[in-house]
Amino acid sequence: MGSIPTQTIEQIAAANDIVEVIGSYFPLKRAGASFKALCPFHQEKSPSFNVSPQRQSFHCFGCGVGGSVFRFVMDYEHLDFPSAVKKLAARVGITVIEERSADGSDDRQHETRRTLLQLHAEAAEWFHENLLKREWARPAREYLKQRGIDRNIAASWQIGFAPESWDAFLNFAKERGYRRAEITQSGLVKPRDEERPNDSEVYDRFRNRIMFPICNDVGEVIAFSGRTLGSDAETAKYLNSPETPLFRKGNVLFGLHKTKRALIDANSAIVCEGQLDLITLFEAGITNVVAPQGTAFTEQQARILKRFVEQVVLCFDADAAGQKAAERSLESLLQNDLVVRIAEMPAGEDPDSIVRRRGKEEFEQRIAEARDFFDYWIEREAAATDLASMSAKMQLARKLADTVARVHDPIMRSEVASKVTARIGVTPGDFAALLKRPTRNFAPDLQEARTTPTPAPRHDVAMLCLLALRDTEARATLLATDWRAVLAETPDAELLRRILESDLRPDDPASINVFMSSLAPGEEALVSSWLLQRVPPNATAVARDWWAGLEQGAVRRQLQIAEGRMRIPQLSAGEMTLLQKQVVDLTMQLAELSAASPARVLDD
């Protein structure tokens, strides 16, 4: 993918007033020149979350998070930076055109993705219109009505219907101007000869099926799941799109684009098997819910879920297939240190049927009573084993040990091992000998649950950072100096160097937002705190004063280094002469600087 031009980012920042953006998520109250609210990123009773319309930034004095409008959307929506930029661009109607690589490969990838996204969006509209308006879709409407899905819910989830035709969608897409190669690449049609897809005839993949759009986490349609209306035992009940440039089955959680805020708030995810289960729960007000695109969690899906929650409640069906799906999900969830509980469903029931027939309260009660997965699992395995038989007991112990070994948290692992030994009657030592050391075979999640502000630099550097950010004349004064050389000799000055190197304009909040978007989250939080501080009325004079102190400190350190090198034994006469001259020059330079300014000097 290409990069988003700085000018575009600045334009998007300027068009999105941070008070309006944050106020669209939760209410803000005016407090003088700023706005306040309870912080959404930590629990608090008194509001410490501050939003500055003048600086177009936010900062929480309680937990330290802060930054630009982009940072807020990234942290609140759990998006990466490009996704946050695109979301805010869409909000104000700005088109994001990314810069591409010179060889054109990025252009081709971008164009392919854009075309496929557009095709999927139009397909979703076509399927949805079929469901609502076509007489031949009446059986689908009646089926959905029986499942509690009315017209409004169908519209909210853009549920549709694919007719029982071999080429209805193919003809629709051709009429819309799409080439056959593009339609085939979307996965919405299928070649009759899989080995020769470019030469073979194609036909509609989805026929006589209720269509559920599958969206990415920003709500773009990237695939479909179709549920059959027929009762043919040879026909799969659900059929998903194949993997395409847009869609990787194991990387997507159905409904996440609608439910992720509820997941964060609850710090817990209810996991069900099917799309209808999820939709029924969501529309009943149980919104912290997701569904994997299959019967078990993949490693990547578990990693995505870990960004939002610490706990997972599995609601798979009570039959043998559902129990196996729960067990297959376990390893991926445990590898991401998620606490797993299981809510048992009555035989023949699923979340959808419980809510529709017995009510939301019954389902919520089952969630509240969900057992720790290991309690449930150990009891079920032990009950199915003849523990009077030593061979059966040892076979069970090995099976349980293989799973317990996957628990990476040492405290949880020890607790589960204690439960196993107590239930099946083996000694802790014998069971410990069966356990293998847990290993991680995946990359750690790079997104931290909470931003820890970067520690502020020493006071003189911090003051100069504040002035270079906030005052145009003071910034110009600093830029007129030999600042690169001085900062190269000044400890703890990296952030000041980056502030001076940037193109930010102190009187333009949008340009400051762009600069903050280039910082790490902790650095951005620190800068956001500086943006809320008062600037001295004589900012330029203060900047000169503090800068003189930095210049003296830099010369003083050079002088100390030169004097130290003179004490190195076995220096040649020529080397000693050069060092003596350097010491004299630096001493004179330090005297001149001291005479020119009553500077503050902070030795490190």
**Residue 549 · residue 464 · CB < 8 Å:** no
What is the fold of 459-596?
Answer: DNAb Helicase; Chain A (1.10.860)
Q: Please name which of 207, 214, 372 lies closest in space to residue 292, comparing C-alpha atoms.
A: 214
- Angle at alpha carbon of residue 160, lines to 155 and 163, rounded to 5°: 155
Rounded to 10 deg, the angle between the 81-92 and 69-77 helix axes is 110
For range 596-603, the mean pLDDT:
50
Q: Which helix (H) or strand (E) holds 49?
A: strand 49-52
Confidence of residue 467 (pLDDT cuts 50, 70, 90): very high
| pLDDT exceeds cutoff 50 at 421 | yes
Q: Determine which of 49-63, 512-526, 571-585 has the lowest per-residue pLDDT on average.
A: 571-585
Among 51-65, 81-95, 369-383, name the most confident range.
Answer: 51-65
pLDDT in tens, 317-339: 666 666 676 777 777 887 778 88
Interacting residues of 216 by C-beta distance below 8 A, sequence separation 6+: 222, 246, 252, 257
Options 1.20.1250.20, 3.40.50.11060, 3.90.980.10, 3.30.460.80; CATH for 105-247 is: 3.90.980.10
What per-residue confidence (pLDDT) applies to 444? 34
Q: What is the pLDDT of residue 439?
A: 43
SS3 319: coil
CB < 8 Å & 24+ apart, contacts of 225-234? 225/254, 225/275, 225/293, 226/162, 227/275, 227/276, 229/139, 229/140, 229/143
Domain range 6-92, CATH architecture: Alpha-Beta Complex (3.90)
Give the model's confidence band at 127: pLDDT under 50 very low, under 70 low, under 90 confident, else very high.
Answer: very high
206: amino acid identity, one letter: F
SS3 192: coil
Helix (H) or strand (E) holding 227: strand 221-228
- Reported as half-sphere exposure (CB side, CA atoms, 13 A), residue 8 has a value of 16
What is the pLDDT of the chain when averaged over all its residues? 84
Q: Quote the Cα angle for 252-82-449, to 5°.
A: 65
Phi, psi dihedral angles at 442 (to 5 degrees): -140, 160
Provide the token pair at 353: 């049927």
Find the helix packing angle between 105-133 and 138-146, rounded to 10°.
Answer: 80
Of 1-5, 146-150, 202-206, the poorest mean pLDDT is in: 1-5
| Highest mean pLDDT: which range of 233-247, 428-442, 463-477 | 463-477
Residue 594 vs residue 115, higher pLDDT: 115
The 3-class SS string of 368-406 reads: HCCEEHHHHHHHHHHHCCCCCCHHHHHHHHHHHHHHHCC
The CA angle 567-568-569, to the nearest 5 degrees, is: 110
Q: Is the pLDDT of residue 106 over 60?
A: no
Q: Does the pLDDT value for residue 199 go beyond 90?
A: no
**pLDDT for residue 445:** 38
Which of these, 211, 115, 117, 222, lies nearest to 157 by C-alpha position?
211
Range from 164-168, 261-265, 411-415, 443-447 carrying the lowest mean pLDDT = 443-447
Q: Between 447 and 514, whose confidence is greater?
A: 514
Structure-token pair, residue 573: 């006469």
The DSSP bridge partners found for residue 312 are 269, 340
CA distances from 240 to 38, 148, 225 (A): 42, 23, 4
Res. 600: pLDDT tops 60:
no
Judged against a pLDDT cut of 80, whether residue 562 lies above it is answered with: no
154 pLDDT tier (thresholds 50, 70, 90): very high
Q: What is the mean pLDDT of residues 397-422?
A: 84
Residue-level pLDDT at 446: 33
> Domain spans of the chain?
6-92, 105-247, 253-369, 377-434, 459-596
Where is pLDDT greater, at 586 or 450?
586
Q: Which of 219-223, 227-231, 437-441, 588-592 has the highest mean pLDDT?
A: 219-223
CA distance 68 to 531: 11
Return left, alpha or beta for 554; rule: phi > 0 is left, psi -120 to 50 is alpha, else beta: alpha
Q: Are 19 and 28 in contact (CB under 8 A)?
A: yes
* Sign of the CA dihedral with 365 first, then 368, 369, and 370 last: positive
Lowest average pLDDT, out of 226-230, 392-396, 415-419, 571-575, goes to 571-575
Q: Are strands 339-342 and 311-314 parallel, antiparallel or unpaired?
A: parallel
N-to-C CA span, the chain: 44
Of the spans 290-304, 445-459, 505-519, which averages the highest pLDDT? 505-519
Element (H, E) at 467: helix 459-470
Q: Are strands 238-240 and 221-228 parallel, antiparallel or unpaired?
A: antiparallel
What number is the average pLDDT over the span 32-39? 91
What's the pLDDT at 318?
A: 60
On the question of pLDDT at 517 being above 80, the answer is yes
Amino acid at 440: R
Q: Which CATH class is domain 253-369?
A: alpha beta
Whole-structure pTM value: 0.63
Are 36 and 47 in contact by the 8 Å Cβ rule? The answer is: yes
| pLDDT on residue 603 | 44
